[in-house]
Chain A
Protein backbone atom coordinates (compact mmCIF):
# COMPACT_ATOMS: atom_id res chain seq x y z
CA UNK A 1 0.00 0.00 0.00
CA UNK A 2 1.17 3.47 -0.84
CA UNK A 3 1.48 6.33 1.61
CA UNK A 4 2.00 8.96 -1.07
CA UNK A 5 0.07 10.72 -3.77
CA UNK A 6 1.56 11.18 -7.21
CA UNK A 7 0.19 13.20 -10.10
CA UNK A 8 1.50 14.05 -13.53
CA UNK A 9 0.02 16.68 -15.76
CA UNK A 10 1.04 18.03 -19.17
CA UNK A 11 0.86 21.79 -19.40
CA UNK A 12 0.90 23.71 -22.65
CA UNK A 13 3.14 26.43 -21.27
CA UNK A 14 6.90 26.88 -21.03
CA UNK A 15 8.84 25.62 -18.04
CA UNK A 16 9.62 29.19 -17.00
CA UNK A 17 5.93 30.12 -17.19
CA UNK A 18 4.95 27.17 -14.98
CA UNK A 19 7.83 27.89 -12.60
CA UNK A 20 6.55 31.42 -12.17
CA UNK A 21 2.98 30.24 -11.55
CA UNK A 22 4.30 27.90 -8.86
CA UNK A 23 6.80 30.10 -7.09
CA UNK A 24 5.56 33.68 -7.46
CA UNK A 25 3.49 33.95 -4.31
CA UNK A 26 0.79 36.06 -5.96
CA UNK A 27 0.42 33.69 -8.90
CA UNK A 28 0.50 30.62 -6.66
CA UNK A 29 -2.21 32.23 -4.55
CA UNK A 30 -4.47 32.75 -7.56
CA UNK A 31 -4.78 29.15 -8.64
CA UNK A 32 -4.24 27.55 -5.25
CA UNK A 33 -6.68 29.99 -3.69
CA UNK A 34 -4.66 31.44 -0.87
CA UNK A 35 -3.64 35.03 -0.07
CA UNK A 36 0.01 34.80 0.92
CA UNK A 37 1.76 37.40 3.09
CA UNK A 38 4.98 37.41 1.08
CA UNK A 39 7.40 35.70 -1.29
CA UNK A 40 8.46 32.06 -0.97
CA UNK A 41 11.98 31.72 0.44
CA UNK A 42 13.67 28.35 0.85
CA UNK A 43 13.94 27.43 4.52
CA UNK A 44 11.37 29.97 5.62
CA UNK A 45 7.78 29.74 6.78
CA UNK A 46 5.14 30.91 4.33
CA UNK A 47 1.94 32.28 5.87
CA UNK A 48 -1.35 33.43 4.48
CA UNK A 49 -5.11 33.10 4.43
CA UNK A 50 -7.06 30.54 2.41
CA UNK A 51 -9.38 32.15 -0.16
CA UNK A 52 -11.10 28.92 -1.26
CA UNK A 53 -14.86 29.57 -0.96
CA UNK A 54 -16.14 28.23 2.34
CA UNK A 55 -12.67 27.97 3.91
CA UNK A 56 -11.72 31.63 4.18
CA UNK A 57 -11.40 31.32 7.96
CA UNK A 58 -8.40 29.00 7.56
CA UNK A 59 -4.78 29.99 7.70
CA UNK A 60 -2.17 28.72 5.27
CA UNK A 61 1.16 27.75 6.72
CA UNK A 62 3.96 25.83 5.04
CA UNK A 63 7.73 25.64 5.27
CA UNK A 64 9.43 26.13 1.92
CA UNK A 65 12.03 23.39 1.48
CA UNK A 66 13.61 23.64 -1.95
CA UNK A 67 13.54 26.16 -4.76
CA UNK A 68 15.77 24.86 -7.56
CA UNK A 69 14.97 27.20 -10.44
CA UNK A 70 12.67 25.72 -13.10
CA UNK A 71 13.22 22.22 -11.71
CA UNK A 72 12.00 21.64 -8.17
CA UNK A 73 9.76 23.48 -5.72
CA UNK A 74 8.88 21.80 -2.44
CA UNK A 75 7.32 22.60 0.90
CA UNK A 76 6.14 20.79 4.01
CA UNK A 77 2.77 21.47 5.61
CA UNK A 78 0.02 20.02 7.75
CA UNK A 79 -2.56 18.51 5.44
CA UNK A 80 -6.12 19.30 6.54
CA UNK A 81 -5.15 21.65 9.33
CA UNK A 82 -8.74 22.81 9.24
CA UNK A 83 -9.62 23.53 12.85
CA UNK A 84 -8.44 27.06 13.77
CA UNK A 85 -8.62 26.13 17.48
CA UNK A 86 -6.17 23.23 17.17
CA UNK A 87 -2.42 23.74 17.37
CA UNK A 88 -1.03 21.52 14.63
CA UNK A 89 2.56 22.67 15.03
CA UNK A 90 3.60 19.56 16.96
CA UNK A 91 2.13 17.16 14.41
CA UNK A 92 4.12 15.55 11.62
CA UNK A 93 3.97 17.19 8.22
CA UNK A 94 3.68 15.89 4.70
CA UNK A 95 6.11 16.87 1.95
CA UNK A 96 4.74 18.39 -1.27
CA UNK A 97 7.04 18.39 -4.29
CA UNK A 98 6.53 19.95 -7.70
CA UNK A 99 9.01 18.77 -10.34
CA UNK A 100 9.18 20.29 -13.80
CA UNK A 101 10.39 18.72 -17.04
CA UNK A 102 10.54 20.31 -20.46
CA UNK A 103 8.56 18.49 -23.16
CA UNK A 104 8.03 19.03 -26.90
CA UNK A 105 4.72 20.78 -26.25
CA UNK A 106 5.44 22.52 -22.97
CA UNK A 107 5.99 21.26 -19.47
CA UNK A 108 5.45 18.02 -17.62
CA UNK A 109 4.55 18.72 -14.01
CA UNK A 110 5.07 15.93 -11.49
CA UNK A 111 3.42 16.45 -8.14
CA UNK A 112 3.88 14.26 -5.11
CA UNK A 113 2.73 14.47 -1.52
CA UNK A 114 4.32 11.99 0.87
CA UNK A 115 4.42 11.16 4.56
CA UNK A 116 0.78 10.27 5.18
CA UNK A 117 1.82 7.27 7.26
CA UNK A 118 2.80 9.68 10.05
CA UNK A 119 -0.49 11.56 10.17
CA UNK A 120 -2.68 10.60 13.16
CA UNK A 121 -5.98 8.80 12.57
CA UNK A 122 -8.21 11.48 14.09
CA UNK A 123 -7.28 13.80 11.25
CA UNK A 124 -8.81 11.39 8.78
CA UNK A 125 -12.27 12.22 10.06
CA UNK A 126 -11.62 15.94 9.71
CA UNK A 127 -10.66 15.30 6.11
CA UNK A 128 -14.03 13.64 5.53
CA UNK A 129 -15.85 16.60 7.01
CA UNK A 130 -13.82 19.01 4.93
CA UNK A 131 -14.43 17.03 1.80
CA UNK A 132 -18.14 16.96 2.44
CA UNK A 133 -18.18 20.74 2.91
CA UNK A 134 -16.03 21.11 -0.19
CA UNK A 135 -18.44 19.20 -2.34
CA UNK A 136 -21.46 21.03 -0.93
CA UNK A 137 -19.74 24.27 -1.86
CA UNK A 138 -18.83 22.99 -5.32
CA UNK A 139 -22.44 22.06 -5.97
CA UNK A 140 -23.50 25.59 -4.98
CA UNK A 141 -20.91 27.04 -7.35
CA UNK A 142 -22.21 24.92 -10.21
CA UNK A 143 -25.78 25.82 -9.39
CA UNK A 144 -24.97 29.53 -9.33
CA UNK A 145 -23.03 29.20 -12.56
CA UNK A 146 -25.85 27.53 -14.46
CA UNK A 147 -28.57 29.78 -13.09
CA UNK A 148 -26.64 32.94 -13.88
CA UNK A 149 -25.63 31.76 -17.34
CA UNK A 150 -28.44 29.53 -18.58
Chain B
Protein backbone atom coordinates (compact mmCIF):
# COMPACT_ATOMS: atom_id res chain seq x y z
CA UNK B 1 0.00 0.00 0.00
CA UNK B 2 2.65 2.47 0.99
CA UNK B 3 4.62 1.61 -2.15
CA UNK B 4 1.62 2.24 -4.35
CA UNK B 5 0.63 5.51 -2.71
CA UNK B 6 4.24 6.57 -2.84
CA UNK B 7 4.41 6.02 -6.57
CA UNK B 8 1.21 7.97 -7.01
CA UNK B 9 2.67 10.92 -5.14
CA UNK B 10 5.88 10.66 -7.15
CA UNK B 11 3.94 10.65 -10.40
CA UNK B 12 1.87 13.69 -9.48
CA UNK B 13 2.91 16.99 -10.99
CA UNK B 14 4.80 19.04 -8.48
CA UNK B 15 5.62 22.65 -8.61
CA UNK B 16 9.25 23.55 -8.38
CA UNK B 17 8.25 26.63 -6.42
CA UNK B 18 6.65 24.38 -3.82
CA UNK B 19 9.89 22.46 -3.36
CA UNK B 20 11.97 25.60 -2.98
CA UNK B 21 9.38 27.08 -0.62
CA UNK B 22 9.32 23.87 1.42
CA UNK B 23 13.08 24.03 1.83
CA UNK B 24 13.17 27.75 2.51
CA UNK B 25 12.61 27.31 6.22
CA UNK B 26 15.14 26.49 8.91
CA UNK B 27 12.98 24.01 10.80
CA UNK B 28 12.09 22.09 7.66
CA UNK B 29 15.71 22.02 6.51
CA UNK B 30 16.63 20.51 9.88
CA UNK B 31 13.87 17.92 9.48
CA UNK B 32 15.16 17.04 6.00
CA UNK B 33 18.70 16.77 7.39
CA UNK B 34 17.46 14.30 10.01
CA UNK B 35 15.48 12.29 7.48
CA UNK B 36 18.38 12.24 4.99
CA UNK B 37 19.97 9.44 7.00
CA UNK B 38 17.70 7.10 5.08
CA UNK B 39 15.96 5.79 8.16
CA UNK B 40 12.30 6.11 8.97
CA UNK B 41 11.56 8.51 11.80
CA UNK B 42 8.47 8.95 13.95
CA UNK B 43 7.15 12.38 14.89
CA UNK B 44 8.42 11.85 18.46
CA UNK B 45 11.94 11.20 17.17
CA UNK B 46 11.77 14.26 14.96
CA UNK B 47 10.55 16.43 17.84
CA UNK B 48 13.53 15.48 20.06
CA UNK B 49 16.00 18.32 20.36
CA UNK B 50 13.58 20.85 18.91
CA UNK B 51 11.91 23.68 20.77
CA UNK B 52 8.81 23.14 18.70
CA UNK B 53 5.76 21.18 19.72
CA UNK B 54 4.67 17.94 18.15
CA UNK B 55 1.84 19.82 16.42
CA UNK B 56 4.25 22.35 14.91
CA UNK B 57 6.54 19.58 13.65
CA UNK B 58 3.53 17.79 12.17
CA UNK B 59 2.61 20.98 10.32
CA UNK B 60 6.10 21.34 8.88
CA UNK B 61 6.12 17.68 7.83
CA UNK B 62 2.87 18.27 5.98
CA UNK B 63 4.51 21.03 3.92
CA UNK B 64 7.40 18.70 3.06
CA UNK B 65 4.93 15.95 2.15
CA UNK B 66 3.01 18.25 -0.18
CA UNK B 67 6.25 19.07 -1.97
CA UNK B 68 6.94 15.35 -2.32
CA UNK B 69 10.22 15.54 -0.42
CA UNK B 70 8.94 13.47 2.51
CA UNK B 71 6.56 10.52 2.57
CA UNK B 72 4.55 9.20 5.49
CA UNK B 73 4.58 5.43 5.99
CA UNK B 74 2.21 3.75 8.40
CA UNK B 75 3.92 1.22 10.64
CA UNK B 76 1.31 -0.34 12.87
CA UNK B 77 -0.35 2.40 14.89
CA UNK B 78 2.50 4.80 14.33
CA UNK B 79 3.21 6.91 11.33
CA UNK B 80 6.82 7.18 10.25
CA UNK B 81 8.41 9.53 7.78
CA UNK B 82 11.01 9.01 5.11
CA UNK B 83 12.96 11.27 2.77
CA UNK B 84 12.51 11.12 -1.01
CA UNK B 85 15.45 12.64 -2.90
CA UNK B 86 13.74 12.49 -6.30
CA UNK B 87 12.11 15.96 -6.45
CA UNK B 88 15.38 17.61 -5.52
CA UNK B 89 17.30 15.53 -8.05
CA UNK B 90 14.80 16.57 -10.73
CA UNK B 91 15.45 20.24 -10.01
CA UNK B 92 19.18 19.68 -9.97
CA UNK B 93 18.99 17.92 -13.35
CA UNK B 94 16.94 20.78 -14.79
CA UNK B 95 19.44 23.39 -13.61
CA UNK B 96 22.30 21.24 -14.92
CA UNK B 97 20.74 21.39 -18.39
CA UNK B 98 20.30 25.17 -18.31
CA UNK B 99 23.82 25.46 -16.96
CA UNK B 100 25.19 23.34 -19.79
CA UNK B 101 23.43 25.53 -22.37
CA UNK B 102 25.10 28.61 -20.87
CA UNK B 103 28.50 26.90 -20.93
CA UNK B 104 28.05 26.33 -24.65
CA UNK B 105 26.85 29.89 -25.32
CA UNK B 106 29.72 31.41 -23.31
CA UNK B 107 32.24 29.22 -25.14
CA UNK B 108 30.87 30.59 -28.41
CA UNK B 109 31.11 34.14 -27.03
CA UNK B 110 34.71 33.47 -25.99
CA UNK B 111 35.83 32.38 -29.43
CA UNK B 112 33.78 35.24 -30.92
CA UNK B 113 35.57 38.01 -28.99
CA UNK B 114 39.02 36.40 -28.84
CA UNK B 115 39.41 35.57 -32.53
Size bracket, chain B contacts:
20 to 34
Please give, as numbers and ranges, the residues of chain A lying within 8 Å of B98 by CB-CB distance.
5, 79-80, 113, 116, 127
Q: Is the CB of A7 within 8 A of B112?
A: no
A63 interface hit (Cβ, 8 Å): no
In the complex formed, the residue of A with least CB distance to B100 is A131
Q: Which of A12, A31, A113, A131 contacts B109 (CB 8 A)?
A: A31
Q: Which of B23, B99, B105 contacts A1 (CB 8 A)?
A: B23
A139 interface hit (Cβ, 8 Å): no
A57 interface hit (Cβ, 8 Å): no
B74 interface hit (Cβ, 8 Å): no
Q: Is the CB of B13 within 8 A of A1?
A: no
In the complex formed, the residue of A with least CB distance to B91 is A1
B-side binding surface: helix, strand, loop or mixed? helix
Chain A contributes a number of interface residues (CB within 8 A of B) equal to 36
Q: How far apart are A142's CB and chain B's nearest CB, in angstroms?
A: 13
Stretch at the interface among B14-22, B36-44, B46-54, B58-66: B14-22
B77-100 interface code vs A (CB 8 A; 1 in, 0 out): 000000000001011111101111
Q: Which A residues lie at the B interface, using CB under 8 A?
A: 1-3, 5, 7, 9, 11-13, 17-18, 21-22, 27, 30-33, 79-80, 109, 111, 113, 116-122, 124, 127-128, 130-131, 134
